[in-house]
Structure 1
Amino acid sequence: MPSLGAAARPARPEKIFDRESEWAALADFARDPRPGPALGVVTGRPRQGTSFLLESLAKSMGGFYFCGQDESVAQTLQRLGDQLDRHMGKSATRDPHSWKDAVEALLALGEDRPMPVVVDGVPGLVEQSPSLPAVLHRALRDAEESPRPPRTRLFLCGNSTPVMRRLFGAPSPLRDHVRLELVVPSLDFRQAARFWGIDDPRLAMLVHAVVGGTPAYRGDFVCGDVPAGLDDFDDWVCRTVLNPRRPLFREAGHLVEEATDHRERALCHSVLTAIASGHVTAGDVADHLERPLTDVSHALAALRDHGVLEESRDILRAGAGRFRIVEPLLAFDHAIVRPHDSVLEREPAATVWQRVRGTFHSETAARHFADVCREWAERFAAAPTFGAPTTSDAVVTAVSSGSLPVPGRSTGIEVDVGVRGRVGNRPGVLLSVGTARWNGVMGLEHLERLHHVLSDLSERGEDVSHAGPVCYGGAGFSAGLHQAELRGRVVLVGLERLYQGE
């Protein structure tokens, strides 16, 4: 992008937590002084604050914000015309009787200066008016070719990833007009701890295992209720996510409804329950549900396309995929809440929680801890962390879990956090095998297990000469492990390092 000239980037409003890079990208695009209209596509999963971010941007720059609703086309156009009148401080010269009129009026807002114009809820608007993408394409093309092209920066926003991809990805003609593509993500586990104001890393991890990094869940969904400490966590769970009177209790169901067709919803819930209980490959899910692999694969693809699931490559088996639930609240709901949904309407939440608390800590929180360890390895670990002591030029390129069956043994090779990278000119070199334990102090037996893993992999032809063992512990490490770390035999990653270190 060329120099933005004298137009200063507007300050990010204090009410917006973090989002510094997203704000900078949006604001710089909005104030780009080049002639001609430009299209920005902004997406994000529900409840991430995407609309709030764009509305704040429009307000801070004197722009225009409009959000589609579930109403008729005539009502939408009437409401849009009314908002345009208020924005311009006068009666519009012509009410928009069609989307052609409306889009021309929106593009005209940038006649005198770069102007951010936000149209939110685009998937719903396109469902109302299927011709809207073609109208946008013609209007943008005509505006670009006009003698005095407007400098409207048109932001189109929507939560439905598949719809937005279809509208603005190749081979859509609108693709040629796109100058900005931005996905507003959930807060990562470190940001989430700061957002919730939690300093204790174990408490922060527990809360993140329930509500993840979705900003909206701290506000209206729990009415600002933050656990006062580790001793308050159990009570907090009971008064928030297990409380049928709080919106958070039914939020997971709403998320699945928004992402799936009603005809496949039951299967999608079953698939999510299977993944939440540890069945992470398509074959495992199909076997667990006793359903045809074709049906399960279709549900997995739909959930992945809507951003509910994320698929990663098995770190040990080329071509094998492993699924995880992106939103921790969905994993918590399908592992803990849904099996006791009807009971929670009749029995006190504390009674039900005592029944499932052990499962949460030993399974749900433990799996979530491993997810966070993988995120740390990929995003926050320092470059020298992985690889044998003799490996100095390694670059991390892939982080995932992995498993390999071993003939004649009931248990195969399992790696919770595997790291591959490039060493010199060699890509895909194994740099690290790690085991993650949420509960219980880790000891030398965990290190010995990792040495056995490396030995097994070596026997199967894997080059492990650059690979080092890593122990990820949520409850600390034994004195023997600390001594082994001092001797360079293992890397230890505890909660403090996860949240504050490299």
Structure 2
Amino acid sequence: MQSTALRRFTEAIAAHAGLRPGTLRLTDWREVLTNALDVAARQAAIPLVVIDELPYLLQHSPEVPGLIQQLYDEHQRGGRGIGARLILCGSAMSVMHELLSGTKPLRGRAVIDLRLSAFDYRTSRRFWDIEDPFTALRVHAVLGGAPGYQPIASRPSPGEDFDRWLTHTLLDPGRAVYSCTETECLLREDPRITQHTLYYDILTAIAQGASTPSKVGSALGRQRNAVTHPLDVLESTGYVQREQDILRPRHPVITLTDPVIRFNQLITLPQVAAVEQGFAEQAWQAAAPTFNSKILGPHFEDLARAWTRQHAHAVLPSGLPGPIGTTEVADPAARTKHEVDVIALALGERPQAPRARIALIGEAKATAARRGTGDLHRLEHIRGLLADQGYHTADTTLALYSLHGFHPDLLQFAARRSDLLLVDLPALYGRGPSGG
């Protein structure tokens, strides 16, 4: 493998230098890197060398970062060294991040450390060119914002319903975007993930509701410490996340973040036999309740928090909010706890700080029913509970996020109140919310 990579890199250098194939012979990575940088420096007005998918190269040539460090340091001392700009790329995010950490050779030598994230939900809608916001929401809920899926999945055509599009893409074993196959490919992007079955089982356990390391271990019949490292790897790759309570120190909740993996573990795997026998439409109909409750609902809550982070400052009386997340609020009189889907602290406040100023309390609902004054009264009650617990709520805005709109009486309330925001799906995608 190493000799193949050396040969291919050498041929690329020769081609760039205008040499005939086979005329350049380089025997090690120091020679290859030195020649690549020298040729680029002589051949281009802006000398640039790009090494893509570096993590795969490091599997059999771990010395490459050290050699790059040597060349960089030689150049800094006035020697030959690096004469061109060097860009290192890779899809294994955890490996790329570690390149610049701790005592690694490239620590302190990179000018830019850039992570290319997936498109946000609004950019994704424009990229896919989807007119209907509800269709855009559902496509984003199953594929996320990675632009590479658009060419292989194709967007739902005008007039084509989402259900038909989905059964002909994510639930079609003959398509490259078939979620079962795609999940396996995603796990292989990180070379540290060698026990694919273990990681696959961990993802399944999380999808089925295991939200702490102990619960994940129990679901797999393993001790907690046996899944700690795999969970850390999955978190560093961005496939799982740990959500902290904004107000109170408690165990973080582990959830899946990659929509394709979440769809596969919750929808495709339980229906895989029917799907691979050609009954995708029937399988999708059977899975619809799970999709609505465990995928679409949580995804809508995620977008509500995203809207609050990115766009709420334009309408909040206090302007830009601080940390945003979720929380649970104790209700001693009722002997219960209220889950809060969206909570934003005031700018400058720290999570879990006592008596913090709270900028916004919100509830997000993706159910078919429109939201009404009962939802508003619940938020008012929660605001009162937080005030009783010492938090500053005098300037707190209440926000209701609804997938299917609001009852007329609630809209009338919002028109008269400066502390109430109503955010429906069109508002999430760019039309301003209703409020006083």
Tell me, yes or no, if structure 1 residue 429 matches structure 2 residue 357.
yes
1:358-387 deviation line (CA, Å, top 9, x unaligned): 2212331111111111111112223442xx
Match of 2:338 among 413, 433, 456: 413
Partner of 1:403: 328
Match of 2:286 among 334, 355, 363: 355
The answer (yes or no) to whether the contact 2:242–2:255 under 8 Å persists in 1 is yes
| 5+ residue gaps, structure 1 | 1-71, 386-391
Partner of 2:395: 466
Tell me, yes or no, if structure 1 residue 308 matches structure 2 residue 239.
yes
For 1:261 and 1:478, locate their aligned partners in 2 and report how far apart those are by CA, in whole Å: 52
Q: How many angstroms does 1:197 deviate by? A: 0.9
The answer (yes or no) to whether the contact 2:71–2:82 under 8 Å persists in 1 is no
SS in 1 for 2:189: helix
Match of 2:66 among 95, 116, 134: 134
Query: Which amino acid in structure 2 is aligned with residue 97 of structure 1?
Result: T
Tell me, yes or no, if structure 1 residue 337 matches structure 2 residue 337.
no
1:56-90 deviation line (CA, Å, top 9, x unaligned): xxxxxxxxxxxxxxxx1111111111111111112
SS in 2 for 1:253: helix
Partner of 1:327: 258
For 2:265 and 2:245, locate their aligned partners in 1 and report how far apart those are by CA, in whole Å: 24
For 2:336 and 2:200, locate their aligned partners in 1 and report how far apart those are by CA, in whole Å: 29
Q: How many angstroms does 1:131 deviate by? A: 1.6
Partner of 1:50: none
Tell me, yes or no, if structure 1 residue 194 matches structure 2 residue 126.
yes
Q: How many angstroms does 1:261 deviate by? A: 5.6
Q: How many angstroms does 1:227 deviate by? A: 4.3
The answer (yes or no) to whether the contact 2:322–2:349 under 8 Å persists in 1 is no
Q: How many angstroms does 1:347 deviate by? A: 4.6
For 1:430 and 1:456, locate their aligned partners in 2 and report how far apart those are by CA, in whole Å: 12
The answer (yes or no) to whether the contact 1:423–1:429 under 8 Å persists in 2 is no
Return closer, same or farther for 1:141/1:203 CA change in 2, 3 Å cut-off.
same
Q: How many angstroms does 1:492 deviate by? A: 0.6
Compute the TM-score of the two structures, normalised by the length of structure 2: 0.88
Tell me, yes or no, if structure 1 residue 499 matches structure 2 residue 429.
yes
Q: How many angstroms does 1:457 deviate by? A: 2.4
Return closer, same or farther for 1:437/1:340 CA change in 2, 3 Å cut-off.
same
Partner of 2:303: 372
Match of 2:147 among 215, 221, 238: 215
| 5+ residue gaps, structure 2 | none
Match of 1:96 among 6, 17, 26: 26
The answer (yes or no) to whether the contact 1:317–1:404 under 8 Å persists in 2 is no
Q: How many angstroms does 1:147 deviate by? A: 5.3
Q: How many residues align?
A: 422
Return closer, same or farther for 1:454/1:286 CA change in 2, 3 Å cut-off.
farther
Compute the TM-score of the two structures, normalised by the length of structure 1: 0.77
The answer (yes or no) to whether the contact 2:329–2:386 under 8 Å persists in 1 is no
For 2:305 and 2:214, locate their aligned partners in 1 and report how far apart those are by CA, in whole Å: 23
For 2:91 and 2:319, locate their aligned partners in 1 and report how far apart those are by CA, in whole Å: 38
Percent of counterpart pairs with the same letter? 29
Query: Which amino acid in structure 2 is aligned with residue 415 of structure 1?
Result: V
SS in 2 for 1:458: helix
Q: How many angstroms does 1:349 deviate by? A: 0.5
Query: Which amino acid in structure 2 is aligned with residue 432 of structure 1?
Result: L
Return closer, same or farther for 1:376/1:393 CA change in 2, 3 Å cut-off.
closer
Q: How many angstroms does 1:194 deviate by? A: 0.9
Partner of 2:170: 241
Return closer, same or farther for 1:78/1:260 CA change in 2, 3 Å cut-off.
closer
Return closer, same or farther for 1:260/1:96 CA change in 2, 3 Å cut-off.
closer
1:14-47 deviation line (CA, Å, top 9, x unaligned): xxxxxxxxxxxxxxxxxxxxxxxxxxxxxxxxxx
For 1:377 and 1:76, locate their aligned partners in 2 and report how far apart those are by CA, in whole Å: 47
Return closer, same or farther for 1:166/1:381 CA change in 2, 3 Å cut-off.
same
For 2:366 and 2:32, locate their aligned partners in 1 and report how far apart those are by CA, in whole Å: 55
Partner of 2:55: 123
Partner of 1:109: 39
Q: How many angstroms does 1:278 deviate by? A: 5.1
Bigger mean CA offset, 117-126 vs 420-429: 420-429
Tell me, yes or no, if structure 1 residue 457 matches structure 2 residue 386.
yes
Q: How many angstroms does 1:394 deviate by? A: 5.2
The answer (yes or no) to whether the contact 1:308–1:327 under 8 Å persists in 2 is yes
SS in 1 for 2:106: helix
Match of 1:228 among 141, 158, 163: 158
Return closer, same or farther for 1:424/1:368 CA change in 2, 3 Å cut-off.
closer
Bigger mean CA offset, 252-261 vs 359-368: 252-261
Partner of 1:39: none
Tell me, yes or no, if structure 1 residue 85 matches structure 2 residue 14.
yes
Match of 2:96 among 129, 146, 164: 164
